[in-house]
Amino acid sequence: DFDWWLRIFSNVHQFNVIHSSPYECEIFSDVSLTGWGASCGMQRTHGWWSIEDRALHINALELKAAFHALKCFALHLHDCRILLRIDNTTAISYINRFGSVQYPLLSDLARDMWKWCEKRHILLFASYIASIDNVIADAESRISDTNTEWSLSEQAFRAVEGVFGPFDIDLFASIINAKLDLYVSWFPDPGSWAIDAFTLSWQSLYFYAFPPFIIIPRILRKIIDDEATGVLIVPWWPSQSWFPMFTCLLQ
C-alpha cells in the first residue's frame, strides 16, 4: 500500500490536481437503485446492477458508476486530464483524495480507479454537479428496459460450451451477463471488446450468441453474408418466418 501511495504522490502526472491545462474530456455519471448511467459529449450509455451490486451502499455504487463511465469513454486516452462530474460528495472526496482509511470498500474502489489511470498517465479530478443538472446521466441510470440483457444461466452455458466450445467471443452481451472475457456490447460498456456486433466481420470468429429474439432474422443474414460459424441460441419457433432459414444453416 505504501509503495502505491508513494508512486501516486511522486508522479508529476498524478499529484497536482490544480492545472491550467484544459481537460481532455468531461464525463458525467449517476446511479439509481437498478442501474448506472453516463455521458460524455454526444455519447451516452447505461447498464444495470448485478444482484451483488444491488446490495452495496449508494456511495459504492457512485464510485463503480464513475469507473464504468471512465472505462467506457476514456479507454483509449492517455497522458491527459479528465474531469468527472458526480452528484455524490462522498464519491468525489474518495476520488480526489485517492481513497481514505474510513471505509475500506470505498477506498479500494477509488484506488482501482487511480491504478487504471496511473497506467495511462491520466490525471483525474472529480467535481460536484447538482442532481437536477445531471440530466442525461440520471436518465440513463433509470432506463429499465432490459430487452438486450438475454442470458443463459451459467450452468446451461457451460453445458453448451462443453459440447460446442470453446468459443472466441460472445457477440451480444454486457458486463453483467457476458459468458466470455471477450464480448461485444450494444453500447459503450466498461468491459466490452467492441460495440455493435453488426459492424464487425464475424468470418474469422467462432462465436457464441444469445440475442434478443426480434433481431434473429438480421443475425441469420449476417451469418450468411460473413460465412460465419458459431452457436446461436434461439427458441424453437417453427411458425416464425425466419425458422426455415435457421434450419437450412444447420445443415
| Residue 24 and residue 79 share a domain | yes
* Residue range 161-190, pLDDT digits in tens: 999 989 999 999 998 899 999 999 988 999
Q: Is the dihedral of CA 190, 191, 193, 195 positive or negative?
A: negative
Across 29-34, average pLDDT: 94
Residue 94 lies in a domain: yes
Check whether residue 211 and residue 179 sit in a common domain. Answer: yes
238 and 163 inside one domain: yes
Angle at 28 between CA 22 and CA 33, to 5 degrees: 160
Residue 20 has pLDDT above 60, yes or no: no
Pair 136, 166 in one domain: no
Helices (H), the chain: 2-10, 51-54, 58-73, 89-96, 104-120, 135-141, 154-164, 216-226, 243-249
d(CA 195, CA 211): 14
User: Using one digit for the tens of pLDDT, what is the confidence trace for 41-84?
Assistant: 999 999 999 889 999 999 999 999 999 999 999 989 999 999 99
* Nine-digit cell string for 2: 505504501
Asked if residue 40 is part of any domain, the answer here is yes
Q: What is the pLDDT of residue 150?
A: 73
| Strand ranges across the sheet with 229-232 | 169-170, 206-209, 229-232
Specify the number of domains making up the chain.
Answer: 2
User: Quick one: 186 and 227 in the same domain?
Assistant: yes
pLDDT tens figures, 110-161: 999 999 999 999 999 999 999 899 999 999 999 876 666 678 889 999 999 9
* pLDDT at residue 22, as a whole number: 81
Please report the pLDDT score of residue 4 as a whole number: 52
Residues 125 and 243 in one domain: no
Give the end of a domain, one of 94, 113, 142: 142
Our separate counts of H helices and E strands in the chain read 9, 10
Parent domain of 240: 154-249
- d(C-alpha 50, C-alpha 174), whole Å: 11
Is 64 found in the same domain as 36? yes
Identify the DSSP state of 22. Answer: P
Is residue 33 located within the same domain as residue 133? yes
91/167 same-domain check: no
Output 210 or 149, whichever has higher pLDDT. Answer: 210
Cell numbers found for residue 82 = 479528465
What are the CA-CA distances from residue 135 to residues 75, 129, 139, 143, 238 (Å)?
A: 24, 10, 6, 13, 45
Question: Are 46 and 160 within one domain?
Answer: no
Distance separating alpha carbons of residues 19 and 13, to the nearest angstrom:
11
Residue 110 lies in a domain: yes
Question: Is 189 a member of any domain?
Answer: yes
pLDDT at 18: 47
Residue 4 falls inside a structural domain: no
The pTM of the full predicted model, rounded to 2 decimals, is 0.78
Domain boundary (84, 114, 142) is at 142
